[in-house]
């Protein structure tokens, strides 16, 4: 790896970071190497990355000195936080500050910060269209990332701000897949009305990030957004019907109903979907499908992703009904 530009990847065993590690490692002639940063270098995912050729380093993102050591000698870094580990926007901000401070200390030449919109720019705290959460946020897991953008800008870091989209893997891992109703039919439930939801296969985020690093300074100082598709709830249900061989219907509930579902993070997600619904044009517009595909020509559509993942989507057993019945 001595003759390659090293990219330090935070969250290397996670969805975004793991995808980036694999994308770089598969591009043997691309001139980049991977320093996979993880909390547990002994995990199976970390061992797999090491076998693929990554340098695996344990890091504590709550400790800026640990990050400084992990970034030392690297060309660039991919920085990401994971709100759902702790449900704390303040912790995300502290982690982002550590990343920015460590990147500045290491003199990195290119940083990609995986971010999201600060929804308070569209829906101020005194706007009662959606409730204020945790005292000072509308969508905590969005707002903290968006607020953290300034931590990279104020330090003069050569940063690309990468806006991501709804992971289609949420249908597998996050409990958002089809559920069987009392009538025996399958439903997906979203508070999106007839508006489109930008989505993406999580592995494609890493491929896009790899392309951004390869393009050098072209996207430094810029905000870029990516998605593999812009789909309504009805379109997602139709695609799931085709993939699963059983009718899936779209259950369009109100954000108020969704916020009241009671699972951890329901209020945050209810506000998130309402933001995406109410500001569809701006949210989809920031995530150009054509631009994303220019970065990653192999970008999966939702149908293609379903083709490869249909057996991983948990579906409750029940009486099967023919589509169109």
Concatenated DSSP letters of 61-81: TT-HHHHHHHHTT-SEEEE--
Residue 325 has pLDDT above 50, yes or no: no
Matching residue, tokens 């989209």: 165
SS3 310: helix
Give the residue-averaged pLDDT of 74-98: 97
- For 40-50, write each residue's pLDDT tens digit: 999 999 999 99
Please provide the average confidence, as pLDDT, over all residues in the chain. Answer: 95
- CA dist 287 and 281 (Å) reads 10
pLDDT for 2 equals 60
Output 173-181 pairs: Cβ under 8 A, ≥24 positions apart.
175/263, 177/313, 177/314, 177/315, 178/240, 178/244, 178/248, 178/313, 178/315, 179/316, 180/315, 180/316, 180/318, 181/251
Matching residue, tokens 């200390």: 105
Residue 324 has pLDDT above 60, yes or no: no
Residue 175 has pLDDT above 60, yes or no: yes
- For the chain, the 3-state helix, strand and coil shares in percent, each to the nearest 5, are 45, 20, 40
DSSP 319: -
pLDDT for 191 equals 98
Which is more confidently placed, 174 or 250? Answer: 250
Matching residue, tokens 């270098």: 41
- CA dist 134 and 148 (Å) reads 17
- pTM recorded for the entire structure: 0.95
- For 272-318, write each residue's pLDDT tens digit: 999 999 999 999 999 999 999 999 999 999 999 999 999 999 998 87
Residue 322 has pLDDT above 70, yes or no: no
């Amino acid at each position: 790896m001595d003759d390659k530009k090293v990219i330090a990847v935070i969250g290397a065993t996670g969805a975004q970071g793991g995808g980036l590690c694999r994308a770089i490692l598969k591009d043997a002639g691309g001139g980049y190497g991977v320093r996979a940063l993880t909390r547990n270098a002994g995990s199976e995912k970390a061992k797999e990355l090491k076998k693929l050729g990554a340098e695996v380093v344990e890091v504590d993102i709550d400790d800026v000195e640990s990050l400084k050591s992990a970034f030392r000698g690297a060309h660039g870094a991919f920085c990401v936080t994971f709100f759902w580990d702790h449900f704390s926007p303040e912790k995300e901000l502290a982690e982002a500050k550590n990343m920015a401070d460590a990147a500045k200390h290491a003199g990195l030449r290119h940083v990609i910060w995986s971010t999201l919109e600060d929804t308070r720019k569209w829906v101020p705290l005194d706007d009662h269209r959606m409730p204020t959460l945790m005292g000072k946020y509308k969508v905590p897991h969005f707002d903290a990332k968006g607020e953290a953008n300034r931590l990279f800008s104020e330090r003069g870091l050569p940063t690309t701000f990468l806006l991501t989209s709804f992971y289609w893997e949420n249908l597998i891992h996050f409990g958002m897949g089809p559920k069987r109703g009392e009538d025996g039919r399958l439903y997906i439930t979203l508070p999106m009305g007839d508006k489109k939801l930008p989505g993406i296969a999580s592995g494609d985020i890493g491929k896009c990030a790899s392309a951004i690093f390869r393009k050098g300074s072209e996207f430094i100082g810029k905000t870029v957004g990516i998605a593999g598709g812009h789909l309504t709830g009805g379109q997602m249900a139709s695609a799931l019907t085709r993939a699963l061989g059983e009718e899936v219907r779209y259950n369009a509930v109100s954000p108020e109903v969704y916020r009241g579902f009671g699972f951890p993070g329901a209020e945050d997600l209810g506000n998130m979907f309402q933001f995406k619904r109410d500001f569809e044009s701006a949210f989809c517009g920031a995530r150009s499908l054509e631009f994303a595909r220019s970065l990653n020509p192999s970008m999966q559509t939702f149908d293609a992703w379903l083709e490869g993942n249909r057996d991983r989507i948990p579906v409750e057993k029940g009486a099967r009904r023919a589509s169109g019945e």
